[in-house]
Structure 1
């Protein structure tokens, strides 16, 4: 069997995890190019880099790519690789279903991008989707969009979503049935706990979006009228179904970053995680509450004051378990012997960006304030701090922490720190000014603006910040290539960590463990390294 065929035909969770991450990074590159073109166009008033039609396609494809084709596969890929290793299993519960889910995701993503060649949208042939990444009806009805670009969006995201659902089912089954001897639920690593809740959210939140997409296809091609207001349908129905998926999706993407923090911060603080039961309870609470806040995306729709008040309260309530997590991470670091290596730097960067995004989120939960800034760049700045800042810094922390286990090679610390500071400066320079331009009245989705609005300085700063981020990504790519070719051997446990994945070789063998381990505490490697003072005495 050829080397390429081994990867294409594999059902090994580790290879599938790597392919998920590589595919996600490829789409990240494409989405980043789309974002760069938009920022170039908006850098100053009256720019003519792209026209309004192309700009609509760019922000539609950028948003769709980053939400569905970058965040989901990268996070699912890391979970695919490490969940079986952390629970002492040899593979996922359903290896072939695991492979099927990956190929569904990849095919869905490629189908979406085929729209560049064969679709027809609002502006003619050969156009990608151009109706915005959340595809609001009735703009997506055939009355207003008679081409096939919307159909590519529906089918591409629908097929990719089926892949995510299968992976969610697989993760739940694996965690609940394949833990090694001695690993009760309250002895699982917090990474595994959080991925369990994340998988439940995927299985609960994705089907409503899939159902809405099928209903939209029926509207477009079978003359149904689910969202056609002229024939008894409701455009608000699409919004409810989409955002019932859309807000849990925020936590589907951010919970894995929480999981990375729960592993990295204790190891680099040389302390056991503070408040393990509290962290589990906060994770479960976030999972439940996240299913009851979606209407805050619709405050400006004209709903009743009572409904707005209820969802304002639930939106504020979800800040409580999230705040508990922030304080437990800070308490873990307090008094510890912190090692400021690259994974820890990115972890602290994550805490900073997510905290800022969370604060603006609480501001947006206040209905009168939301009415004032709805559909402005303030909202764009907010969700990029939460999703892009939280996700990106969390993923880079995970890559610098776990890539030595995957590759057997250490990444360069000097280059990693250069990347961190370039990214930290560039990120805040890009998305911080968006809050100001939004408060000054700049609406979302405009492709140009007049010179007397007071927005030029803030847009120029945002566009300069993109340059810093591009340089940071180039430094990261060089670090990966250099380290894989000439990096220092990592050894089995380069960080002196405590969970089971560090007990096997780097990279792990196909079967993961020669003998399925038995655990007695939440930190099995600590027990092994310190038999005179094992954790099980205190748990």
Structure 2
């Protein structure tokens, strides 16, 4: 520890420092310094290491479009097969593989990833931030997505692609009917893709909470942010459901468990429950961000703000909330009780209300505005029409009696394509045209772009609208051929012709973009005269996004003069009070290393100066090792899987290794967490440096992560939410199967309470020692902290030992019967979390002993303790479910 009276020599190690305000001139030394700090080194060394959100966003978009082309090619082959009766281009097995991989590709590898690409690129720009909250986690999400996509396609060239449909219903997907590696690859690939989606969603949620520009309160967020935030929150709660379902299917196939085995008490209907608990919210996950694109970009071409911003934002959240309670909408024909049908049918009708709110808002915006008919406007207006068609057909299937007639017909296929393709692709292409000048600095060709729109719009409707008619004529889904006397020949021929027209439009669109990237006219910084923050930067944006942190006073910072908005977003009524304006050219200077400003979750008040990570190879290698784990599991190469898992652990440890706590202070600084206000006295400008004069006596903020200011704390909290959902679905599975089976429960006698009570006491005690360790560190009592953490580690190991002894003494295993499958899976999941927690505690013990923490900087200890407390609380629910519940509701006869 240095003398408090000595100025810090290393800015990265200061505990706190004053915020300063100024300007940075283009081409100045200050701007060159920012570029040196934030630019990724060129060439192959920098390419896999970059954590720049813009590069990652573009990679998401490009990769998703590659998968779109693959899925489109698969669709065209199927349409050739169905264009005429009794065609023999494909065998039934080949057709099954094609329609399965087409669905997997379009739904999981295109629809959400392309929207993640938009949000990755745009979020920091529209929020006034320099990067996402977790740049390395952002890179990891992309690498996992890419490797998961390649993994899912790995068996395709061998003729062993997944062939049970993208919904993968059991028992068709079980080992009895599908013995090859295809379903194993699909199941494990979806779990890997689920990890990518989860870490990306955590990043979006924490970025919204902690990385907004000062003044950007929640009522000033762009609707795109609301859409992606809602989708990310839904992913945290929904993805664990489908990941668990796929993992249990793999366990049934390769370990011999009985979750879906009817002969031993399992229930195939459990698969549908778990799948559609995820599947129906997923529809809105791939729709709401696209709706946000339209809500933000359409008003630009109407020359007015969006009509009904608040209702649209609330409708976005309400749509997802209702979406979580209508999953049985997809199971009306499975024998569900009439009361449940009534409830879920009504809920499926209600969900159309918030969608209607957004639709009327878009129509009112066009009606009351002064539309400018540029290329993006065509796509957004066309989207509104497609949204209505898809929504109306969805409401039709919400009626139970009609759904019974339409289920498994091409009417549902038509609805699915209007919802997941039309409502996604048209906003995406419109958004690409809209933000193309921002990304490339060039404009596209207006005349050719309008031609592309009409080819796509006509081709889409010719391809998919006749499917409604085919469904009403009785054509079932998933048939690979049909007879000439069925009456479906004409509609299928029209559909196939429209599919090729639509494919032509996609190729024309890509050609337009590629040509415009090189030869398009220069765009300027704001060619559309748009109102949001991303258009206040250069085009393309610099690596650091904003030279100074902007301060926002309204929802439309670039339109404030013409709209006359005050700080609350209300029009100026000519009152005496001066209207506050957003400041974009002058703001907080953060240039002592890679730095960003952290703000409070609700009101976006400056709260902390965040030290952002440098470029890193760790996300790439973690993605490689994680993929190797799943590849080894698919091959049942257990040694390789263990080695790859060890590689993951080492990479994570290197990733998270902290810096030693060498804390230095500016003379006279206070570390009590003073919150900053916006300074306005930096008015003089020094052309030699590019800086304005700065105020050294300005407000003081902590530097780096500190307690509740830590982005890692928020990230751990969101991780706990999604992990809690996972254990919730596990307990639901146990209770559902226990209620459905007619067998003795549990079949081997009541569970022994002794080991469960002992382990409960051990875990609760360990939590107490972890809590006491943190208190000791904050009071700088290092030896006592080390001893306390060591006791917590020993207690954790004792828990593992008792659990292993209990497993060994059971007369049954996971493959013996259904109860054994449930018991070992639930306790095994928890055991895995305990082992991870012990490793985390052991690392924390090492770091405490080496002096990496002190009373001011111990956020890693806080985060590790939070995770361990969660693991302990989860055990209470497991103990209640597995050990206590059978004594109350068990059947022993």
TM range (shorter): over 0.9
Partner of 2:273: 240
Partner Cα separation in structure 1 for residue 46 and residue 210 of structure 2: 28
Give 2:257's match in structure 1, choosing from 224, 234, 242. 224
Partner Cα separation in structure 1 for residue 429 and residue 249 of structure 2: 37
- Residues 526 and 535 of structure 1 are in contact (CA less than 8 Å); yes or no, is this contact kept in structure 2? no
- Residues 133 and 207 of structure 2 are in contact (CA less than 8 Å); yes or no, is this contact kept in structure 1? yes
Partner of 2:721: none
Shift in Å, 1:349 = 0.8
Show the 5 A alignment for 1:301-320: 301-320=334-353
Partner of 1:377: 410
Give 2:117's match in structure 1, choosing from 77, 85, 89. 77
Shift in Å, 1:3 = 2.3
Partner Cα separation in structure 2 for residue 206 and residue 533 of structure 1: 44
Give 2:289's match in structure 1, choosing from 256, 260, 266. 256
Partner Cα separation in structure 2 for residue 153 and residue 538 of structure 1: 49
Partner of 1:186: 219
Distance 1:58 1:537, change over 3 A: closer
Shift in Å, 1:6 = 2.4
SS at match of 2:328: helix
Partner Cα separation in structure 2 for residue 117 and residue 433 of structure 1: 32
Give 1:90's match in structure 2, choosing from 130, 133, 138. 130
Partner Cα separation in structure 1 for residue 229 and residue 440 of structure 2: 26
Partner of 1:536: 567
Give 2:520's match in structure 1, choosing from 460, 484, 487. 487
- Residues 87 and 500 of structure 1 are in contact (CA less than 8 Å); yes or no, is this contact kept in structure 2? yes
Show the 5 A alignment for 1:510-529: 510-527=543-560
- Residues 160 and 180 of structure 2 are in contact (CA less than 8 Å); yes or no, is this contact kept in structure 1? no
The answer as to 2:502 corresponding to 1:462 is no
Show the 5 A alignment for 1:116-265: 116-117=156-157, 126-265=159-298
Partner of 2:304: 271
Aligned length: 530
- Residues 141 and 196 of structure 2 are in contact (CA less than 8 Å); yes or no, is this contact kept in structure 1? yes
- Residues 105 and 163 of structure 1 are in contact (CA less than 8 Å); yes or no, is this contact kept in structure 2? yes
Render the CA deviation track for 1:235-284: whole Å, top value 9, x for unaligned: 00000000111011100000011101111111100011111111111111
Shift in Å, 1:144 = 1.6
Partner Cα separation in structure 2 for residue 458 and residue 500 of structure 1: 48
Shift in Å, 1:538 = 4.8
Shift in Å, 1:4 = 3.6
Shift in Å, 1:79 = 0.4
Give 1:15's match in structure 2, choosing from 45, 48, 55. 55
Structure whose alpha-carbon radius of gyration is higher: 2
Partner Cα separation in structure 2 for residue 502 and residue 538 of structure 1: 19
SS at match of 2:148: helix
Partner Cα separation in structure 1 for residue 93 and residue 566 of structure 2: 61
Render the CA deviation track for 1:369-423: whole Å, top value 9, x for unaligned: 0101110001001111111110011101100101110111111111111111001
Partner of 1:40: 80
- Residues 342 and 400 of structure 1 are in contact (CA less than 8 Å); yes or no, is this contact kept in structure 2? yes
Partner Cα separation in structure 2 for residue 295 and residue 442 of structure 1: 23
Q: Which has the higher contact order (CA 8 A, sep 6+)?
A: 2
Partner of 1:66: 106
TM-score by length of 1: 0.97
Shift in Å, 1:332 = 1.2
Partner of 1:26: 66
Partner of 1:121: none
Partner of 2:706: none
SS at match of 1:462: helix
Show the 5 A alignment for 1:341-360: 341-360=374-393
- Residues 188 and 250 of structure 2 are in contact (CA less than 8 Å); yes or no, is this contact kept in structure 1? no
- Residues 452 and 508 of structure 2 are in contact (CA less than 8 Å); yes or no, is this contact kept in structure 1? yes
- Residues 523 and 535 of structure 1 are in contact (CA less than 8 Å); yes or no, is this contact kept in structure 2? no
TM-score by length of 2: 0.59
The answer as to 2:399 corresponding to 1:362 is no
Render the CA deviation track for 1:425-476: whole Å, top value 9, x for unaligned: 1101010110111111100000100001110000000001012112211211
SS at match of 1:517: strand
Partner of 2:10: none
How large is the RMSD of aligned CA atoms in angstroms? 1.1
Tell me which protein shows more helix as a share of its residues: 1
- Residues 553 and 568 of structure 2 are in contact (CA less than 8 Å); yes or no, is this contact kept in structure 1? no
The answer as to 2:137 corresponding to 1:103 is no
- Residues 467 and 495 of structure 2 are in contact (CA less than 8 Å); yes or no, is this contact kept in structure 1? yes
Gaps of 5+ in 1: 119-125
Show the 5 A alignment for 1:286-301: 286-301=319-334
